[in-house]
Amino acid sequence: MTTPLSPPRRRFVHGLTGATALAGLGLFTPARGMAAGAHDVAAPAILSGQVFDLEIVETIVDFTGAKRVATTVNGQLPGPTLHWKEGERVTIRVTNRLKEDTAIHWHGILLPSNMDGVPGLSFDGIKPGETFTYQFDVVQSGTYWYHSHGGFQEQTGVYGAIVVTPREADPIAADRDHTLLLSDWSDESPDRIFRTLMATPDYYSTTQPTFAGLVQQARETSWSQALDDRAMWMRMRMSPTDLADVTGATYTYLSNGHTPDGNWTATFSRGERVRLRLINGSAMTYFDVRIPGLTLTVVAADGLPVQPVTVDELRIGVAETYDVIVTPQDDQAYTIFAQSIDRSGYARATLAPRAGMTAAVPAMDKFQSLTMKDMGMSHGMAGMHSGMNGMQSDTATERSTAAAGAAGHAMRGMSHGEGGTAPSGPATIGGIVQVTHRQAEQSGPGNSMLADNVSTSLDDPGPGLRGSTRHVLTYAMLRALHTPPDERPPTREIELHLTGNMDRYMWSFNGKRYTDAQPIVLKHGERVRFVLINDTMMMHPIHLHGLWSDLESPDGAFQVRKHTLSVNPAQRITYRVSADARGHWAYHCHLLYHMEAGMFRAVVVA
């Protein structure tokens, strides 16, 4: 059991009547398309065509009753939705009106490396007063988004949606089409948030273990079990309530730039097939999305069509996109409800036949603590070790193997590309892989956790949704509509551990921050299997720029193609990558402050 913190430590910002933009004495651009009354139906501006002009400017906004300065695109938060067409060449002129460098990354879009928009890696960034011209051919269709890759500007408003119309007839039939971009806003500056996390990682936690919770657990199990569990968490220097680093204690959650009370509204006519393009453009927040009274038919993931699957609810990780079809049969309003993973707040919008209609907003679900499963202690096995206590650490290694077929690859022994002979391949027991840890990259203060047993299953909805009476989407349900163009088996594996020290707010791959790590080098044209093992107790959305990630099922079969893959605590996932685009590419956790803290690598395709 947990209990919420009381003010002033916990400041749950629900928002006022809307996201009111205020002009600022001529010093800043007032935000357009943001004034939100209770019946507001305004959506972000839509820009279509092949040539676009975008300005990154400072804008005064007011989401909570306090004026703050945002960084925005064309004075809007979110920025304008860009409509492109597959097969056309787009030109986007981005002018920087800030006093600092900026950049825009086109998330999930395949393009030349020098157009990818990552300062210091693929280009130099856009200096104050300068204009940079992005130009590339659009070779895909679907729902994507763009955001700044400069500093913390993604947190302060530089993001927007991208909708790409297919060259041929759209395989997803719909009578009406709406784009809904979810995000998180704080009145605190992101620099202050980051400094606070570095000093006190649990500062924004809205729930903490309590004595009452200990008593309740003892009643359900026994005092010895309850005390043992509490002591174990303390030894690990972890908290079973650490689902999110930044929460509703400082965040206001937005739907298309509108607070929950602002109530952004999308309209429909009864019986229509309504396509909702859901985008998680937040900095740090996982959302669990549902529309009470309607089922969601998922028809696309990360821009690409999937075999339709009907659910009641889906979890959308940071930077993921899902297209869903709903078919309202009644002349009534429906609430689009997106609660944060830690249940500290929610974003809310409305789907209605007419402007001005509203529907009841459901209560948030009860908070669920992390479990021994999330520590790598499922099935009574040995569990997660603490690197802080001098236990043996693991190296994430690059491993090469002859590609003898995908199925059963998790069971094979492989030789390590970094030298030496690897131990036998991981042993799989009922969907649980026993991980052998080695002393190398993962030793040291950057990795305080080691999961000895990790799940290979894709049917776990994750912390907070387990045991739900609603039908919840999992990766196991996603099946690509088309096979990938490259079906060659991989010739080698690259194993990376997602590592962290929550007590010191250090995040990394293999216990090494970006500044201390060498790039991952791929040979142009090769097919590689990436293996991700999450040694931490948090979910991480991992994004590889410029290249598609072909997620595999636990038995090694192709499952679905994505640009961002969410990894549960104590989980092992694998995916294939074709190194078909030369250049320098970013590879990172899309939780903004995790990336800033070091969970970032460069991938070089040469």
pLDDT bucket at 222, cuts 50 / 70 / 90: confident
Instruction: Determine, yes or no, domain membership for 547.
Output: yes
Please give the Cα distance from 451 to 432 (Å, whole number).
11
7: pLDDT strictly greater than 90? no
User: Residue 43: which of 161, 174, 164, 142 has the closest Cα?
Assistant: 161
- Read off the tokens for 62: 């007011």
Does a cis peptide bond (omega within 30 degrees of 0) precede residue 78? yes
pLDDT digits (tens, 9 = 90+) for 251-300: 999 999 999 999 999 999 999 999 999 999 999 999 999 999 999 999 99
User: Residue 178: which of 154, 145, 146, 143 has the closest Cα?
Assistant: 143
Q: How many CB atoms lie within 10 A of CB 310?
A: 13
Domains in the chain, number: 2
The 8-class DSSP code of residue 595 comes to H
Amino acid at 30: P
Amino acid at 32: R
Looking at residue 593, its pLDDT comes to: 97
Contact 145, 161 (CB under 8 A): yes
Instruction: Determine, yes or no, domain membership for 390.
Output: yes
Instruction: Determine, yes or no, domain membership for 200.
Output: no
197-206, 374-383, 549-558: least confidently modelled range: 374-383
Contact 442, 507 (CB under 8 A): no
Contact 309, 473 (CB under 8 A): yes
Q: What's the half-sphere exposure (Cβ side, CA atoms, 13 Å) at 268?
A: 26
Q: What's the half-sphere exposure (Cβ side, CA atoms, 13 Å) at 16?
A: 15
- Read off the tokens for 492: 């080698």
Cα 282 to the center of its chain, rounded Å: 8
For β-strands 264-267 and 346-352, DSSP reports them as parallel
Looking at residue 440, its pLDDT comes to: 47
Instruction: Determine, yes or no, domain membership for 216.
Output: no
Looking at residue 240, its pLDDT comes to: 66
pLDDT digits (tens, 9 = 90+) for 586-603: 999 999 999 999 999 999
Instruction: Determine, yes or no, domain membership for 363.
Output: no
Average confidence score pLDDT of the chain: 84
Of 171, 205, 223, which closes a domain?
171
Higher-confidence position of 220 and 155: 155
- Read off the tokens for 103: 């950049």
Provide the CATH number for the domain around residue 12: 2.60.40.420
Rounded mean pLDDT, 370-390:
53
pLDDT digits (tens, 9 = 90+) for 39-93: 334 678 999 999 999 999 999 999 999 999 999 999 999 999 999 999 999 999 9
Of 117, 151, 171, which closes a domain?
171
Looking at residue 207, its pLDDT comes to: 72
Rounded mean pLDDT, 96-101:
97
Looking at residue 392, its pLDDT comes to: 33
Contact 503, 496 (CB under 8 A): no
Please, which residues have CB within 8 angstroms of residue 96's CB and are 6 or more apart in sequence? Answer: 56, 102, 126, 127, 128, 129, 130, 131, 132
Looking at residue 38, its pLDDT comes to: 34
pTM assigned to the model: 0.85
- Read off the tokens for 145: 């988004």
Of 154, 171, 188, which closes a domain?
171
Instruction: Determine, yes or no, domain membership for 545.
Output: yes
- Read off the tokens for 187: 């009145």
- Read off the tokens for 473: 């989407």
Q: What is the DSSP string of 184-225?
A: EEESS-HHHHHHHHHH-TTTT-SEEE-HHHHHHHHHHS-HHH
Q: Which domain holds residue 50?
A: 2-171
19: pLDDT strictly greater than 60? no
Looking at residue 155, its pLDDT comes to: 98
- Read off the tokens for 383: 């569990």
pLDDT digits (tens, 9 = 90+) for 489-522: 999 999 999 999 888 899 999 999 999 999 999 9
The 8-class DSSP code of residue 373 comes to G
Burial 493-525 (b: 16+ CB within 10 A, else e): bbbbbbbbbbebbbbbbbbbbbeebeebebeee
pLDDT digits (tens, 9 = 90+) for 424-480: 345 545 588 877 665 544 556 777 778 888 999 999 999 889 989 999 999 999 999
The 8-class DSSP code of residue 179 comes to E
Please give the Cα distance from 573 to 551 (Å, whole number).
8
pLDDT digits (tens, 9 = 90+) for 411-435: 332 223 332 233 334 554 558 887 7
pLDDT bucket at 210, cuts 50 / 70 / 90: low
- Read off the tokens for 414: 């492989």
Rounded mean pLDDT, 4-17:
34
Instruction: Determine, yes or no, domain membership for 314.
Output: no
The residues that bridge with 472 in the sheet, in sequence order, are 313
Q: What is the largest CA-CA distance in the chain?
A: 68
Please give the Cα distance from 103 to 56 (Å, whole number).
9
Instruction: Determine, yes or no, domain membership for 61.
Output: yes
528: pLDDT strictly greater than 80? yes
Q: How many CB atoms lie within 10 A of CB 555?
A: 12
Contact 36, 264 (CB under 8 A): yes
